[in-house]
Amino acid sequence: MSIMTWTWIMVGITFSVYIGIAIWSKARSTGDFYVAARQVHPVLNGMATGADWMSAASFISMAGMISFLGRDGSMYLMGWTGGYVLLAMLLAPYLRKYGKFTVPMFVGERYYSQVARTVAVICAIFVSFVYVAGQMRGVGVVFSRFLEVDINTGVLIGMAIVFFYAVLGGMKGITYTQVAQYCVLITAYLIPAIFISLMFTGIPIPQIGLGAALSEAGQRLLNSDPGFLLEKLDQIQRDLGLPAFTSGIKPKIDVFAITLTLMVGTAGLPHIIIRFFTTPKVKDARASAGWALLFIAILYTTAPAVGAFAKLNFIKTVHGKSYAEAPSWFKNWEKTGLVAWVDKNGDGKMQYGPGKPFKGKPIFVKDENGNFVRGEHGQLLVKNEIIKDSPNELYVDRDIMVLANPEIAKLPAWVVALVAAGGLAAALSTAAGLLLVISSALSHDLLKNVLAPQISERTELLAARIAAAIAVVIAGYFGIHPPGFVAQVVAFAFGLAASSFFPILVLGVFWRRTTKEGAIAGMLSGIIFTAAYIIYFKFINPAANNPAHWWFGISPEGIGMIGMIINFIVTTVVSLLTKEPPKEVQEMVLKLRYPKEM
């Protein structure tokens, strides 16, 4: 069977399971909708948290970033996994002991202020919408290739699926759907990695295969002498004029800033924190964090191997070939607009080297009937302005590397389809969690607790579903018009979470003296600074987006570290200058840290 047929089968089966679970676990109360009635077992919650966490950025884009960044890509691995340690130690058990529904609710009661709650609602919605844009973009990338529809249509299909089970089931439906999605995504991620590790090294464990010597079969595949896989990849990149894969070229301060931003952003993400509100007991929240870290580590320790394998196979199958010799995977992905070739030197060979071939993404030439126009070598013609001084003739979107990896390695069609289903599971699981945060922030924190406290539970549940529906539509818009690669967009969300929520949550738990004035000032100063920095360099003046113009050499992806520091300083100073919190609030903070369960 063809790849498309297998994809329809895999996607159809998995989507049927998700929808079936949503119907079975339909939310019938606000407790079901917001926190799954606090009845989720720690192992299942850990698995659901892993699926919620391992978004399109983790599944689709992270290994792609590692493929192109090499060692510098480790900042994503260290930041995203290290953040879970912070979350488990500093926040998860205490916020579960607090015992309510949402992060803005905690902020409102801890800082005894409806204004603080409202600011937290705004921050939660802002962070979640930035994050969900990356997920919907990932859905569009998967559909555009494997179901042969354009990216925008793919986003619309994803919107419809998320709308169904997020609006119907709430947290209860999302939780059990995410358990199924974790099983799908981790299987889809591991099987190609195991196959390719066996092809190159004869070792079935990708984590070990990454550092192993090439097998005889691997040497034949690469037409190479004996040696270690990473050594061969380093040499191939140097021969092409690229930095060695295992070398790092990003400024150390930026690597540190991005890593720290991702760590504290993890501990401040509302859609992750809310997962720990679903366990029966406080100790279960700690256990959930441990299980989640284990389930996440399975994918994260595999990602460097996937990135290296994909880069090796990509260069081997494309560089130096004529378009007529180009593999089928390249021509299939070319139609999506996510890969392209321009013959700059007229030799008819596809040359991969340093530099970017296009200003922005490629725009293909079409005739009056809407058909692609081909050049003299058969390639699709591109009408973008070409960067003349770059020897690189190939454009490759980083978000396709994991999805294209099985095709590049010539794995069976069912494996390719399984990866497509896994990518969709990763994107949809996180999108659902984020949409629930937006829905609960609007319906419970803003409507029920600020604007209309007298509404009934039934009316609140209806409002939550309407808010989720509206959020799906807005998320789809951002998926169609994303501000960057999936991993980049998600990194921006982490910066916003790091600069807004993390400081006030940590201070709210561990420093009784933190005041409402300090929290409000800290949240606003942190998120405004971080958002302004990102918007300036990504939208207002993208030409200046380079180390020469960055503050202290820190990129927009890492600026959340500075925003976090600003938040901590402003919150502390303002708190010391204002009247201390009421006695009952200080007693609540002490009870949160007291080991005996409430």
Q: Take residue 261 and report the two structure tokens written for it.
A: 């931003």
> What is the predicted pLDDT for the residue at 496?
83
- Is residue 34 within 8 A of residue 273, CB to CB? The reply is no
Q: How far is CA 380 from CA 159, 232, 271, 337, in A?
A: 31, 32, 42, 10
| CA torsion through residues 245, 360, 55, 191, sign | negative
> What is the predicted pLDDT for the residue at 335?
76
pTM score > 0.75 for this model?
Answer: yes
Distance CA 42, CA 49 (A): 10
Distance CA 448, CA 450 (A): 6
| DSSP class of 322 | B
Q: How confident is the model at residue 597 (pLDDT cuts 50, 70, 90)?
A: very low
Is pLDDT larger for residue 154 or for residue 227?
227
Pairing of strands 394-396, 339-341: antiparallel
Distance CA 122, CA 129 (A): 11
Q: How confident is the model at residue 382 (pLDDT cuts 50, 70, 90)?
A: confident
> Quick one: average pLDDT of 74-81?
82
Site of tokens 């389930």: 295
- Is residue 571 within 8 A of residue 507, CB to CB? The reply is yes
Q: What is the 3-state secondary structure (H, E, C) of 331-372?
A: HHHHCCCCEEECCCCCCCECCCCCCCCECCCCCECECCCCCE
> What is the predicted pLDDT for the residue at 440?
74
Contacts of 410 (CB under 8 A, 6+ apart): none
Give the SS3 label for residue 213: strand
CATH code matching the domain that covers 3-310+412-448+460-482, chosen among 3.40.50, 1.10.4160, 1.10.3470, 2.30.30: 1.10.4160
Distance CA 424, CA 11 (A): 8
> What is the predicted pLDDT for the residue at 574?
96
Is pLDDT larger for residue 276 or for residue 10?
10
Q: CA angle 173-56-441, nearest 5°?
A: 50
Residue 389: Cβ within 10 Å count? 7
Q: Is 595 exposed, middle or buried (0-12, 13-18, 19+ CB in 10 A)?
A: exposed
- Is residue 300 within 8 A of residue 58, CB to CB? The reply is yes
| Average model confidence (pLDDT) across the chain | 81
Contacts of 510 (CB under 8 A, 6+ apart): 90, 593
> Which backbone phi and psi does 213 adopt, to 5 degrees?
-80, 155
Q: Which of 161-175, 455-469, 565-579 has the lowest mean pLDDT?
A: 161-175
Is the confidence at residue 571, as pLDDT, over 90?
Answer: yes
Q: How far is CA 216 from CA 56, 225, 228, 232, 237, in A?
A: 35, 9, 12, 14, 22
- Is residue 434 within 8 A of residue 271, CB to CB? The reply is yes
> Quick one: average pLDDT of 241-268?
86
Is pLDDT larger for residue 260 or for residue 87?
260
In the chain, % of residues over pLDDT 70: 89
> Quick one: average pLDDT of 247-275?
82
- Is residue 356 within 8 A of residue 545, CB to CB? The reply is no
Is the confidence at residue 566, as pLDDT, over 90?
Answer: yes
Q: Where are the beta strands (DSSP E) in 292-335?
A: none
> What is the predicted pLDDT for the residue at 213?
92
Domain ranges, ordered by start, for the chain: 3-310+412-448+460-482, 339-396
Contacts of 108 (CB under 8 A, 6+ apart): 114, 116, 117, 120, 445, 449
- Is residue 258 within 8 A of residue 74, CB to CB? The reply is no
> What is the predicted pLDDT for the residue at 27?
55
Residue 57: what residue type? Answer: A
Residue 195: what residue type? Answer: F
pLDDT per residue over 273-300, tens digit each? 777 777 777 777 778 878 888 888 898 8
Contacts of 255 (CB under 8 A, 6+ apart): 72, 75, 248
Q: CA angle 351-221-60, nearest 5°?
A: 65
In the chain, % of residues over pLDDT 90: 14
pLDDT per residue over 237-252, tens digit each? 998 888 888 887 888 8
Q: Which of 45-59, 307-321, 527-541 has the lowest mean pLDDT?
A: 45-59
Q: Which of 30-39, 151-160, 237-246 has the lowest mean pLDDT?
A: 30-39
Q: How confident is the model at residue 170 (pLDDT cuts 50, 70, 90)?
A: low
> Quick one: average pLDDT of 133-138?
72
pLDDT per residue over 489-521, tens digit each? 666 778 888 898 889 989 998 999 999 999 999
> What is the predicted pLDDT for the residue at 167?
63
> Quick one: average pLDDT of 480-493?
62
What string of DSSP letters covers 113-126?
Answer: -HHHHHHHHHHHHH
Q: How confident is the model at residue 598 (pLDDT cuts 50, 70, 90)?
A: very low
Termini Cα distance of the chain: 58
> What is the predicted pLDDT for the residue at 25?
62
Site of tokens 């034949």: 220
